Homo-oligomer: A and B are copies of this chain.
Amino acid sequence: MSAPLMSLNQLDTSDTLTPEKTQRILEAVLLTTSEPLPINELRKLFNLELSATVLSKLLEEIREKWRDSGVELVSIASGWRFQTKADIQPYLERLTPPKAPRYSRAVLETLAIIAYRQPVTRGDIEEIRGVSVSGSVLKALTTRGWIEAIGHRNVPGKPALFATTQHFLNDLNLRSLEELPPLEEMKSLIDSNEKNSDLPFEVPEAHD
């Protein structure tokens, strides 16, 4: 164990916690952790000696510092995390084939209904979509950690009620459900006579 060295360093840093040192620690810790870290969690790094306001200010400074790089510090539902900017992804895929699944329309529509109408049962989803929802669709979303059963509706059969998760928000870079794209007004749908704007013919993507 390199304990002696470490405890020396630890003493060193915790004794004189300059803004530079604090930033250095924040940055390193955030780069190390893939889970988003909320401010309250980050305060533990400094034995709660720094206020949320101070940390927020430092985090904003770090965000600013990274602005021109291929990596950005973002604040999402569960807290702060570093992630690559969109233009880096194609390069990453040259090294490793993309792991994230591309979802079929069935999955995406089911997800949208759960996101905007939650909590909903499978029956609710089927009614809106006009077709039965296969178990594999719900499983794909559950496995991804985007939806979860949060209870049961008190009707015969006690169907499970589905809702989106915090993880869903994190994966979509959202801080809350309110940040989802607003639903189109019924009126604009009625008025929309734009032709073929959403023709389904090109769609056949990966099926669930």
**CB pair B95 A25 closer than 8 Å:** no
Q: Which of B32, B45, B70, B90 contacts A24 (CB 8 A)?
A: B70
Find chain B residues with CB under 8 A from A9 CB: 86-87, 90
A5 CB within 8 Å of chain B: yes
The 3 closest A-B pairs by CB, nearest first: A28-B70, A9-B87, A28-B88
Instruction: Looking at the assembled complex, report how far the CB atom of A130 sits from the nearest CB atom of chain B, in whole angstroms.
Output: 24
Q: Which of B6, B71, B86, B92 contacts A90 (CB 8 A)?
A: B6
**CB pair B28 A86 closer than 8 Å:** no
A84 CB within 8 Å of chain B: yes
Find chain B residues with CB under 8 A from A51 CB: none
Find chain B residues with CB under 8 A from A6 CB: 86-87, 89-90
Bound form: Cα–Cα A88–B26 in Å:
9
Given that A69-B24, A70-B28, A82-B31 are known contacts, is A47 also in contact with B94, CB under 8 Å in the complex? yes
A153 CB within 8 Å of chain B: no
Find chain B residues with CB under 8 A from A27 CB: 69-71
A33 CB within 8 Å of chain B: yes
Instruction: Looking at the assembled complex, report how far the CB atom of A100 sits from the nearest CB atom of chain B, in whole angstroms.
Output: 13
Which residues of A pack against B, CB within 8 Å? 2, 5-7, 9-10, 12-13, 24-25, 27-29, 31-33, 37, 41, 44-45, 47, 68-71, 82, 84-92, 94-95
Q: Which of B5, B33, B45, B71 contacts A31 (CB 8 A)?
A: B71
Q: Which of B12, B45, B94 contacts A45 (CB 8 A)?
A: B94
Given that A27-B71, A28-B70 are known contacts, is A44 also in contact with B87, CB under 8 Å in the complex? no
24 example contacts (A-B, Cβ-Cβ < 8 A) are as follows: A2-B86, A6-B89, A7-B90, A9-B86, A9-B87, A12-B87, A24-B70, A25-B70, A25-B88, A27-B69, A27-B70, A28-B85, A28-B91, A29-B92, A29-B95, A31-B31, A31-B84, A32-B71, A32-B84, A32-B88, A32-B92, A44-B95, A45-B94, A47-B94
Bound form: Cα–Cα A92–B25 in Å:
9
